[in-house]
Amino acid sequence: MNQSIAQMLKSPGVHLSCEIFPPKEFGRIEEVKEVAGEIAALRPAYISVTYGAGGTTPHFTRELSKSVQTQGIPALSHLTCINDTRSRISGVLEDLREEGITNVLALRGDIPPGTGFPGEDHFHYASELTQAIRERGGFCIGGACYPEGHPQAPSRDADLDGLRRKVDAGAEFLTTQMFFDNAILYQFLYRALQKGIDVPVTAGIMPVVNAKQIKRITALSGASLPPRFAAIVDRFGGNPDCMREAGIAYATEQIIDLIANGVHNIHLYTMNKPQIARAIFGNLGSILGSLA
Ligand code: FAD
């Protein structure tokens, strides 16, 4: 189970992975474990488990990651650092290692509004966390990247310089923020390579099946909506069944285009909805099999 995700992503074939998130209250963890079980039954390459914003619930992420691994699927545990001290982060990593969870997505996390950077007893950037994990040893480390630039970066070029630092610090693979226009990803991959960033990049796809999600998602992620997708939301957003079908079709088409253009590592933001993940895996059945 301790397979390195970076090594997996470099191996031949298409690797389709999924993301789940823990519940807000620990009392509901069993419900999300069931979701994890349904998604694990699709046999994704791995399942990533997010870390609660604010960083106060590492045990939620650990518990779900453990549950994923008991289903025979590698877990990728997210870990944010900005809202916690270095010594507490060290404790979180120790706990993960004790549970046999050795793939970690090292993230900065978001700085709470109205507060500035914390003191020197905190890591300030994901690259600092990455370096500390690398020095500790025993983990395969991933990082986040942003095809349209991180919203706080002064420019896309400066963001890529930060990304290069993260890779130099030890990030062995990257997962992208969601994007709705594949051309943006292709440009990003080209520009990243020009900066010498040559680790595997997993393309993050979010099936949008509900018009209400759109505003929140685009505000949070900074992802832009191409006119083709905006037209779909405009036309079908008022009808939940139609929007669901159109959203699944759009995400499926994005994935098929990625695979056709040689992008073989794809991460599905499932929003804890196994039925949507199932529909997309079903749509891709022969395509995934033909490239295995
Ligand atoms: P960093 O890589 O540290 O970058 C943050 C900003 O600092 C960027 O603008 C970058 O350009 C800049 N920068 C980097 N290095 C330097 C430097 N040395 N000097 C100056 N500027 C620098 N959030 C959660 O709370 N929980 C999660 O589970 C979670 N999962 C995520 C998964 C993915 C795939 C993605 C894309 C995001 C996720 N996030 C999550 C959100 C993430 O925490 C935020 O986007 C956060 O604002 C940035 O995190 P980062 O790791 O990319 O930071």
- 292 pLDDT more than 70: no
- Please name the residues in contact with 41: beta carbons below 8 A apart, sequence gap of 6 or more: 71
Q: Report the alpha-carbon distance of residue 129 to residue 106 in Å, rounded.
A: 7
Q: Report the alpha-carbon distance of residue 246 to residue 207 in Å, rounded.
A: 9
**What average pLDDT score do residues 122-127 get?**
97
- Cβ atoms of residues 214 and 225 within 8 Å: yes
Quick: pLDDT tens for 15-43: 999 999 999 999 999 999 999 999 999 99
Comparison of pLDDT for 1 and 242, the residue scoring more: 242
- 260 pLDDT more than 80: yes
Comparison of pLDDT for 176 and 53, the residue scoring more: 176
Task: Quickly tell me which residue has 């039954």 as its tokens.
Answer: 41
Mean pLDDT of the chain: 95
DSSP-assigned beta bridge partners for residue 17: 267
Shortest-distance atom of ligand 1 to CA 49: 28
- CB count within 10 Å of CB 183 equals 11
CA 280 to each of CA 20, 70, 185, 220: distance values in angstroms, whole numbers, following the listed order: 16, 24, 20, 24
- Percent of all residues in the chain with a pLDDT value above 70, rounded to a whole number: 99
Looking at residue 56, its pLDDT comes to 87
CATH 3.20.20.220 fits 5-286, yes or no: yes
- 201 pLDDT more than 70: yes
Q: Residue 288: which pLDDT band, with cuts at 50, 70 and 90?
A: confident
As a residue count, the chain comes to 292
Q: How far does the centroid of ligand 1 lie from the alpha carbon of residue 238, in Å?
A: 34
Is 31 among the residues known to form the active site? Answer: no
Query: Using a 6 Å cutoff on CB, does residue 107 contact ligand 1?
Result: yes
Q: How far does the centroid of ligand 1 lie from the alpha carbon of residue 281, in Å?
A: 29
Quick: pLDDT tens for 229-254: 999 999 999 999 999 999 999 999 99
Looking at residue 54, its pLDDT comes to 86
Shortest-distance atom of ligand 1 to CA 53: 25
Domain residue ranges in the chain: 5-286
To the question of pTM greater than 0.85 for the whole model, the response is yes
